[in-house]
Each structure stands twice: as structure tokens, then as C-alpha cells.
Structure 1
Amino acid sequence: MARKSLVGVVADELLDRIIAGEFPPGTVVPGELELSAKHEVSRMTVREAMKTLEAQRILSVERGRGTFVNPLNQWASLEAVLRAASEGTKDAAAAIQLIELRRMLETGACELAAERISDDELTALKDHVEKMQAAHEINDLPAFVEADLAFHDVILHASGNVFVAVLFEPLHRVLEARRAETSAFPEIQEHAIGHHRKIAAALESRNPNEARLAMDAHMQQTLDDLKTYVLEA
């Protein structure tokens, strides 16, 4: 067990260096001798750690050339991709793809929720919007992000589809990090509050199509704001 734990530690440390940009996609990672000295472990431990990352398609071995870092879109580990998205250097493609994923899942969840949401959940949605408004007025970014995430969480669970909520759970950390990045702009906060009010009203009408369209409009505004305020900054 101790050996496996050490291998895991070295694999995590090497992944951290990759995510930090020390070894960009397409570059060769150092050899076993250099890595064993850097991490103060045996070459066998390094070899097993690299095999772990190779199994996750983070690294690929080319005989006679070395071990290369693969592009993020080839990685097979959800945990590693989420770590890269939340901790790595700014990646415009990853930020946009995250919104695309949210759009696919959340518009459908909102459509389902329109016919299934309870009165208590509708009340909770309105409360979260008011908390967003209050946080916006006093420039309390953490409180704004917390209320924003809570609003969407109510809808995901109100959809009544257990798979939707489970799929979104691993995304919570990266969503929190991205929300803190985008919601730092007062203009984006104002847009979000307006769209959240429309989503709550559409859900209260119990009209699935209106609910889907309201959420889709919010996702489009989120994408537009990301490109205008964050990626162009």
C-alpha cells in the first residue's frame, strides 16, 4: 500500500506540473533519472507514476523519442480534466466548452423541472435571486457566486432525473472557480440576475418550452459575456 501511495503522490505532482504549464501539450517530460532526483524517489516509482498518467492518456510514449504530454482533449480522466479546468492557466477553449456542456445539460434539466418543480423549490429559486441581487449591491462576490450556484442546483434536482444531478456533482469545483472569474464583472452580474428572474418566472408558469428557452437564453448570454469581458480582457 505504501508503494502505491508513493506512486500516486508522484503522479499527482507530475500532473500538477503539467497543469501549471511547465510541460505544455506536445512537449517531452523529463526522463526517469531526472524525475526520480526531482521527487526524491526511485526510478521504479517514477516509471509506475508515468504509467498511471499514460493509462489516463495524459502522457503518451513514443519509442525512441520519449514521453510526450497529450492535448487536454485526449485525456481520459474526468478528475484530471476538471483539475486542469479549475487550476490551470487560462484556457479559452476549455471555458467555452464548459458552457457548451452546461447548455446541453441545464436546458434539458430546466425543461424537465417545469412540470416537476415544487412550490417550495420555486420559493427557494426566488430567494436565491434576491440573495444574488443583495450581494451585487454590496459587491460581495463570494455571496453572489454561492447564490448563483444554489439557484442552478435547485433546478438540477427539481428535474427529478437522478443522473443529471450526479453528472453535475463533479463539476461543482470547476464551476465555482469559473463563476468567481466571470462574476467579478458587475455587468455580468446584472445580466445574470435578469436571466435568473426570467428562468424562475418560466418555471413558475409550468411551461417546459418557455423554461428551456429561458435557460438557453441565459447560457447564450453567459457565453457572450465570457467572450466580451473575460477572454478579451
Structure 2
Amino acid sequence: MARKSLVGVVADELLDRIVAGEFPPGTVVPGELELSAKHEVSRMTVREAMKTLEAQRILSVERGRGTFVNPLNRWASLEAVLRAASEGKNDAAAAVQLIELRRMLETGACELAASRVSPEEIDQLQVHVSAMQKAHDSNDVSAFVEADLGFHDVILHASGNVFVAVLFEPLHRVLETRRTQTSQIPDIQRHAIGHHRAILKALEAGDAPRAREAMDAHMQQTLDDLRTYVLEA
């Protein structure tokens, strides 16, 4: 893998500080002189790093006032948004919007999969549901998350639409982080197992409308659980 340029390293470190909440949206980031001393680089390097973040709409420059951090919904870098969603502090909006995105894509993927899923893929789904139940019974959160993600991954590929799986690939890290957070709660695990079984039954029956409804119900339960057990806790 190619090494990052010094400009890239500084831009990355500054983004880390933004994601960590050191510079919340609407605040002014330090000037070039302070940042160059902090990162032990030239002011020119800092200037180029800030231009990089400005091009990604993470920062905006207001003449005579300074350089400000933009709200997350204005960022134009998928990688940066995913970092904020997986590593950021108290970003409830990002958590909710991630489920909204999943709902839009996964309900359609599940509907397509109902008529395209293979017997081997049905077997894989059954294995994942069984693994979720076993992990729930033994309080193994890591194994539960792995089986949960595996179940959804099978459906995405079973949809037969190559774009769906490719679109979801960059989301894997943030999905794993979020699932690990929510799956600490036994009630959420129980809800997920029940909905996964309903989805599996619809796919086994080859019932496309029912499969879509089952996945949609799962997404709604996921959203309700997030709000009840995590965001309002």
C-alpha cells in the first residue's frame, strides 16, 4: 500500500480531531501557525491539508472570520462520513440515517432475493440464524454480530444485483461497530432473532412481498430499539 503524503497525514489527523469532537460543527479550527506547531509541519503543508478537507466539504472558509467545521450532512466524503458514524461521539443523527439507508436498500434486496435465492444460500441463512441463537444463549456478543452481519450479507448477494453488495461494502466497518454497540442488549438480540426467522421463512417460501415486509419490519424494530435502548438511555 502506498504511503500517505505528509499533507494526507495532517489532513487525516485533523479529521480525527474533528470526529472525536474536539472541533464540533460550527466551530473554528485553529490557524495555520498553531496547527503547524501541533503537527510539526510547515504552514504550507497545513494549508494544503486544510484545502483537502475543504474540498471534501468538511471545512468551509469564511474570509475575515476563519475556517469552520461543517455539519455532517454537508460532508462530501463517504469515507469521512463513515468514520464519523463509527468513531464519532454522540452522533444520534448518523445512527438513525444509517438505518434509513439500510431500510431503503435492504428491503428491495430482500424482495429480489425471494425469487433468486439458491438452496445453498437458504442453508447459509439457516446456519446464521442458528449461530445467532447460540451466541445469544451463551452471551457471546462477538459471535452474535458476526452471524447477524453474515445473514444480511447472504441476502445482499442473493439479490443477484451486483451494485447492492458493492454499495454495502464500505459500510461494513460502521455496521460492525453499531451492531456491537446495540447487540450488548439481550432484548435487542431477541428481537433480531425473531425478525431474522421471519425473513428466512419468507425467503424459503419464495414470497417476494412478504420478504420485503419482513425486512421492513426488521428495520423498523432496529430503529425502535436504537431509540429506546441506546439513544434515550
Query: TM-score range with shorter-chain normalisation?
Result: over 0.9
Counterpart for residue 81 of structure 1:
81
What is the one-letter code of the residue matched to 1:141?
Answer: V
Counterpart for residue 61 of structure 1:
61
How far apart, in 2, do the equivalents of 1:144 and 1:168 lie? 20
Residue 88 of structure 1, CA deviation: 0.7
Residue 47 of structure 1, CA deviation: 0.2
**Alignment: residue pair count:** 232
Counterpart for residue 180 of structure 1:
180
What is the one-letter code of the residue matched to 1:169?
Answer: E
How far apart, in 2, do the equivalents of 1:155 and 1:63 lie? 50
Counterpart for residue 196 of structure 2:
196
Question: Counterparts in 2 of 1:39-58, with a 5 A limit?
Answer: 39-58=39-58
Counterpart for residue 152 of structure 1:
152
Counterpart for residue 142 of structure 1:
142
Change in Cα spacing, 1:3 to 1:112, as seen in structure 2 (3 Å) is closer
Q: Which runs of 5+ in 1 are unaligned?
A: none
Corresponding residue SS for 1:68 = strand
Residue 91 of structure 1, CA deviation: 1.0
Residue 105 of structure 1, CA deviation: 0.2
What is the one-letter code of the residue matched to 1:147?
Answer: A
What is the one-letter code of the residue matched to 2:148?
Answer: D
Instruction: Please state if 1:98 is matched with 2:98.
Output: yes
Instruction: Please state if 1:34 is matched with 2:51.
Output: no
Q: Deviations over 1:38-83 (max 9, x none)?
A: 0000000000000000000000000110000000000000000000
How far apart, in 2, do the equivalents of 1:163 and 1:3 lie? 30
Q: Deviations over 1:17-36 (max 9, x none)?
A: 00000000000000000000
What is the one-letter code of the residue matched to 2:60?
Answer: S
Residue 3 of structure 1, CA deviation: 11
How far apart, in 2, do the equivalents of 1:220 and 1:33 lie? 49
Counterpart for residue 108 of structure 1:
108
- Normalised to the residue count of structure 2, the TM-score between the two structures is 0.98
Instruction: Please state if 1:230 is matched with 2:216.
Output: no
Q: Deviations over 1:158-179 (max 9, x none)?
A: 0000000000000000000000
Instruction: Please state if 1:15 is matched with 2:11.
Output: no
Superposed CA RMSD in Å reads 1.1
Corresponding residue SS for 1:27 = coil
Corresponding residue SS for 1:104 = helix
Which 4+ runs in 1 deviate beyond 4 A? none
How far apart, in 2, do the equivalents of 1:58 and 1:171 lie? 19
Residue 92 of structure 1, CA deviation: 1.0
How far apart, in 2, do the equivalents of 1:12 and 1:121 lie? 40
Residue 182 of structure 1, CA deviation: 0.6
What is the one-letter code of the residue matched to 2:166?
Answer: V
Corresponding residue SS for 2:60 = strand
How far apart, in 2, do the equivalents of 1:35 and 1:15 lie? 13
Residue 4 of structure 1, CA deviation: 6.7
Q: Percent identity?
A: 83
- Normalised to the residue count of structure 1, the TM-score between the two structures is 0.98
How far apart, in 2, do the equivalents of 1:170 and 1:18 lie? 21
